[in-house]
């Protein structure tokens, strides 16, 4: 039945009932009002009876069949008012519920609406309109102002400001230039772009987001297991009770009322509506939360571990100083650049970047290259053996660090820089200092997390002094330094061993094992990195640290909302049954309470949609205050 | 065993969930069936030797819920 039809039925039966009531009020004609009431029951009851017939045909005894029997029964014994009221309430209730449910699902629906519909592709030098999934990888796509970018691609020509809200939840436009990556689903606000398609159709970041959210909204929470257990006993329990009541009282009406009233409508939807609202709110804010269980887990987090590089810092380290001990600076830079040319490490890339800036060209790769995880590298350049890395590398290679150099290292480290040693032919020739800028919102976030009662831990592969300096700048009390990737996993385990529920925040690329080990893995800047989107429990699409606090907050609020709904629904159902059995609740009144409870559960869930938008000054979201223990390594 | 997801027009009443789960769960060969309330889908796991997905689709349609597509 269409919404329109439903609406007509609700309105016409309401009018019939109103006129009938008017008749009774004016004392005009008892017969007239009876006819009108019966007509109302007929109008409102027709769709119910039709559905009852359909379900019965499939041998399913649903609430519609019970209501239909009850209504016929009421009409048979002359209870016209009761028949009209019950059918009207049932139809009106379901109409209201459908409208309210639409609201809970609206955030996700509006996300779906952002899906691009057409793409202007260049084929044989001519521009043609195609559906976005028909674009081939490598083809050139044109995008004009007001249009949605139809594919993930790289800009070949043009410049534009792009609204990336579909991906990151952030609606302030971002400037994009040649060579930049743009995402499908984002909107070109001004400018003009020609891009080369890299990912199309279902492979785009936007499609992945939609897919994840689609799945997440029906991912069950653990709390729902309680409900499933409950309904396993509840439904047969009600059947038996109704039968027993009938056998004792021979009152068909009472038994039937019990069956109708006891249908657990609010219970069935109590958890799903909260989850869809919570996850919808998240998606709108660029935060992907992968289901009910994740929401619960996020609500329990007490300790938050941050990976330093790329998470608390920008992850764009740059060379801040070069000190040589004998060798000319240019020579040192030449050797280091060649040694690091193939490096995937962010520090190595910083060196290469610097060399390119100084000399204007990319260094040639080394003759031989060996990456040593957590230490640095060894390489051969022009017949010379190079070791580039931290103190540990030099210790392992038994290369002596003179006292003068050691003092210099300490100075640099205390300023939060990461000095790397360059040894040529087993002799230390220089130190290259590299530093990464802190994110603007890092300090603010840490302060907020502490005030909300969380413990905060920083994990880093950096040396202890650099770590101390950065932890101090951010106000973090606890940190673990000089960690190899595997050590990060151990650090998380140790925190868990202390009985804490640990969330790990990282970029999801280098710290995937730690993200997986933590009770809750939060990946930042997930847009564009599929691995991060797959492994993490919560993905922050935007590269915005402040969303960490938001995502824990919305999770907690959603879990609370869900619990309110469940307890409320159980309480209403039990009270109604008690009311029916004690003769205080009859069919029409019971139906009203029942429908109202379903509606209330939905309205409660709708409240979640406003989370995070109405409060300009953020209040603490968490009530438990935990003592923060301070210790460093 | 195979799992098929049926996309429905929209599931907006709590009783629909129960009706669909009961009717499809009773079909011969079905081992598990779940209504995804929010996304309006029915996910059914069944023995493809014994049951054709068309039969499941038919069952859902006959209950009065329109199946839009399935895969």
A367-404 core/surface letters (b: 16 or more CB in 10 A; e: else): eebeeeeebbbbbebeeeebbbbbbebbeebebeeeee
Q: What is the mean pLDDT of residues A610-623?
A: 52
Give per-residue pLDDT as tens, A241-254. 989 999 999 888 88
Based on its alpha-carbon atoms, the radius of gyration of chain B, rounded to whole angstroms, reads 11
Set of chain B residues whose Cβ sits within 8 Å of the Cβ of A97: 12-14
* Contact at CB, A272 and B18, closer than 8 angstroms: no
* Contact at CB, B38 and A105, closer than 8 angstroms: yes
| pLDDT at residue A541 in the model | 84
Residues of chain B with pLDDT under 50: none
Set of chain B residues whose Cβ sits within 8 Å of the Cβ of A51: 64
| SS3 (DSSP) at A538 | strand
Predicted confidence band at A526 (pLDDT cuts at 50, 70, 90)? low
| pLDDT at residue A509 in the model | 66
pLDDT above 70 (res A617)? no
Residue with tokens 């935060």: A287
Q: What is the mean pLDDT of residues A392-411?
A: 91
Of the given ranges (A56-60, A120-124, A245-249), which has the lowest mean pLDDT? A56-60
Cβ(A422)–Cβ(A429) below 8 Å: yes
**Greatest mean pLDDT range, A110-114, A139-143, A372-376, A480-484:** A139-143
**Mutation to test the B interface, candidates A272, A596, A609, most B Cβ within 10 Å:** A272
Residue A392 CA to residue A404 CA, distance in Å, equals 17
pLDDT above 90 (res A210)? no
A97 has a chain B CB within 8 A of its CB? yes
Active-site residue, from A133, A152, A218, A307: A307
| pLDDT at residue A233 in the model | 84
ipTM greater than cut 0.95: no
A48-86 core/surface letters (b: 16 or more CB in 10 A; e: else): bbebbebbeebebebbbbbbbbbbebbbeeebbbbbbbb
Reply yes or no on whether A537 is catalytic.
no
Q: What is the mean pLDDT of residues A191-200?
A: 92
Long-range pairs, A181-184, Cβ under 8 A, ≥24? A181/A152, A181/A153, A181/A154, A181/A155, A181/A528, A182/A149, A182/A152, A182/A153, A182/A154, A182/A155, A183/A149, A183/A152, A183/A527, A183/A528, A184/A116, A184/A132, A184/A148, A184/A149, A184/A150, A184/A151, A184/A152
pLDDT above 70 (res A621)? no
Q: Are strands B41-46 and B30-36 parallel, antiparallel or unpaired?
A: antiparallel
Q: Mean pLDDT over all residues of chain A?
A: 87
pLDDT above 50 (res A271)? yes
Of the given ranges (A73-77, A254-258, A312-316), which has the lowest mean pLDDT? A312-316
A59 has a chain B CB within 8 A of its CB? yes
| SS3 (DSSP) at A629 | coil
A6 has a chain B CB within 8 A of its CB? no
Set of chain A residues whose Cβ sits within 8 Å of the Cβ of B63: 54-55, 58, 60
| SS3 (DSSP) at A228 | helix
pLDDT above 60 (res A264)? yes
* Contact at CB, A214 and B39, closer than 8 angstroms: yes
pLDDT above 60 (res A632)? no
| pLDDT at residue A41 in the model | 93
Half-sphere exposure of A524 (CA within 13 A, CB side): 27
A54 has a chain B CB within 8 A of its CB? yes
| pLDDT at residue A607 in the model | 93
| pLDDT at residue A620 in the model | 39
Set of chain A residues whose Cβ sits within 8 Å of the Cβ of B10: 98
| pLDDT at residue A559 in the model | 93
| pLDDT at residue A527 in the model | 63
B14: closest chain A residue by CA: A265
A275 has a chain B CB within 8 A of its CB? yes
Residue B60 CA to residue B71 CA, distance in Å, equals 15
A277: closest chain B residue by CA: B38
Q: Choose among A58, A267, A269: nearest Cβ to B37.
A: A269
Of the given ranges (A101-105, A226-230, A295-299, A404-408), which has the lowest mean pLDDT? A226-230
Which helix H or strand E contains A435, and what residues bound it?
strand A427-435
Residue A611 CA to residue A470 CA, distance in Å, equals 33
Interface of A with B in 215-234 (CB under 8 A): 217-218
pLDDT above 50 (res A601)? yes
Residues in chain B: 71
pLDDT above 90 (res A551)? yes
| pLDDT at residue A625 in the model | 35
| pLDDT at residue A137 in the model | 92
* Contact at CB, B13 and A94, closer than 8 angstroms: yes
Question: Rounded to a whole number, what is the distance in Å from the CA of A280 to chain B's nearest CA?
Answer: 11
Q: What is the mean pLDDT of residues A112-119?
A: 86
The DSSP letter of residue A217 is T
Residue with tokens 């660090």: A401
Q: What is the mean pLDDT of residues A148-168?
A: 90
**Mutation to test the B interface, candidates A50, A268, A282, most B Cβ within 10 Å:** A268
């Amino acid at each position: 039945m269409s919404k329109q039809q439903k609406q007509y039925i609700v309105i016409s039966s309401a009018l019939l009932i109103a006129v009938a009531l008017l008749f009774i009020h004016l004392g005009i004609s008892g017969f007239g009002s009876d006819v009108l009431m019966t007509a109302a029951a007929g109008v409102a009851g027709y769709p119910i009876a039709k559905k009852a017939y359909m379900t019965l045909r499939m041998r399913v005894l649903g609430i519609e069949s019970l209501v239909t029997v009850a209504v016929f029964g009421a009409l048979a014994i002359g209870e016209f008012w009761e028949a009209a009221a019950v059918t009207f309430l049932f139809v009106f209730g379901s109409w209201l519920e459908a409208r309210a449910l639409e609201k809970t699902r609206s955030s996700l629906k509006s996300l779906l609406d952002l899906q691009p519909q057409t793409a202007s592709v260049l084929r044989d030098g001519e521009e043609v309109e195609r559906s976005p999934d028909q674009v081939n990888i490598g083809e050139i796509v044109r995008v004009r102002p007001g249009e949605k970018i139809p594919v993930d691609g790289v800009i070949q020509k043009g410049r534009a400001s792009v609204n990336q809200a579909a991906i990151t939840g952030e609606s302030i436009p971002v400037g994009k230039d040649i060579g930049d990556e743009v995402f499908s689903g984002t909107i070109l606000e001004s400018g003009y772009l020609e891009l080369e398609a890299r990912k199309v159709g279902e492979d785009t970041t936007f499609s992945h987001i939609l897919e994840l959210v689609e799945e997440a909204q029906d991912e069950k929470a653990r709390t729902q297991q309680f409900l499933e257990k409950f309904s396993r006993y509840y439904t047969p329990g009600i059947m038996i009770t109704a039968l027993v009541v009938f056998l004792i009282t021979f009152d068909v009406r009472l038994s039937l009322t019990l069956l109708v009233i006891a249908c657990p409508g609010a219970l069935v939807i109590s958890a799903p509506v909260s989850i869809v609202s919570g996850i919808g709110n998240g998606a709108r804010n660029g935060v992907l939360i992968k289901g009910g269980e994740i929401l619960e887990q996020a609500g329990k987090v007490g300790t938050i571990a941050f990976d330093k590089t790329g998470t608390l810092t920008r992850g764009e380290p740059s060379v801040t100083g070069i000190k040589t001990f004998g060798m000319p600076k240019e020579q040192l830079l030449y050797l280091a650049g060649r040694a690091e040319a193939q490096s995937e490490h962010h520090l190595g890339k910083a060196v290469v970047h610097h060399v390119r800036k100084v000399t204007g060209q990319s260094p040639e790769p080394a003759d031989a290259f060996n990456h040593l995880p957590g230490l640095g590298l060894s390489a051969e350049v022009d017949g010379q053996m190079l070791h580039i890395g931290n103190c540990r590398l030099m210790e392992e290679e038994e290369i002596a660090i003179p006292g003068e150099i050691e003092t210099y290292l300490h100075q640099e480290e205390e300023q939060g820089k990461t000095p790397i040693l360059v040894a040529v032919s087993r002799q230390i020739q220089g130190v290259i200092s590299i530093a990464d800028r802190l994110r603007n919102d890092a300090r603010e976030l840490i302060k907020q997390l502490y005030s909300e009662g969380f413990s905060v831990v920083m994990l880093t592969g950096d040396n202890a002094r650099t770590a101390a300096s950065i932890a101090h700048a951010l106000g973090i009390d606890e940190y673990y330094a000089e960690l190899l990737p595997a050590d990060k996993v151990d650090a998380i385990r140790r925190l868990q061993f202390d009985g804490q529920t640990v969330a790990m925040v990282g970029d999801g690329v280098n710290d995937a094992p730690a993200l997986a080990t933590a009770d809750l893995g939060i990946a930042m800047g997930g847009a564009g990195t599929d691995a991060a989107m797959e492994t993490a429990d919560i993905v922050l699409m935007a590269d915005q640290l402040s969303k960490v606090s938001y995502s824990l907050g919305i999770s907690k609020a959603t879990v609370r909302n869900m619990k309110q709904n469940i307890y409320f629904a159980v309480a209403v159902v039990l009270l109604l049954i008690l009311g029916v059995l004690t003769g205080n609740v009859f069919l029409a009144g019971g139906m009203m309470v029942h429908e109202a409870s379903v509606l209330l559960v939905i309205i409660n869930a709708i409240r979640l949609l406003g989370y995070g938008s109405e409060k300009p000054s953020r209040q603490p979201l968490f009530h438990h205050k935990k003592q923060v223990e301070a210790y460093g390594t | 065993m195979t799992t098929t997801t049926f996309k429905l027009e929209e599931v907006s009443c709590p009783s629909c969930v129960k009706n669909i789960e009961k009717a499809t769960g009773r079909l011969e060969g079905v081992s598990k069936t779940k209504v995804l309330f929010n996304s309006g889908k029915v996910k059914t796991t069944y023995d493809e030797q014994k049951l054709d997905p068309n039969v499941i689709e038919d069952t859902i349609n006959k209950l009065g819920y329109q199946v839009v597509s399935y895969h």
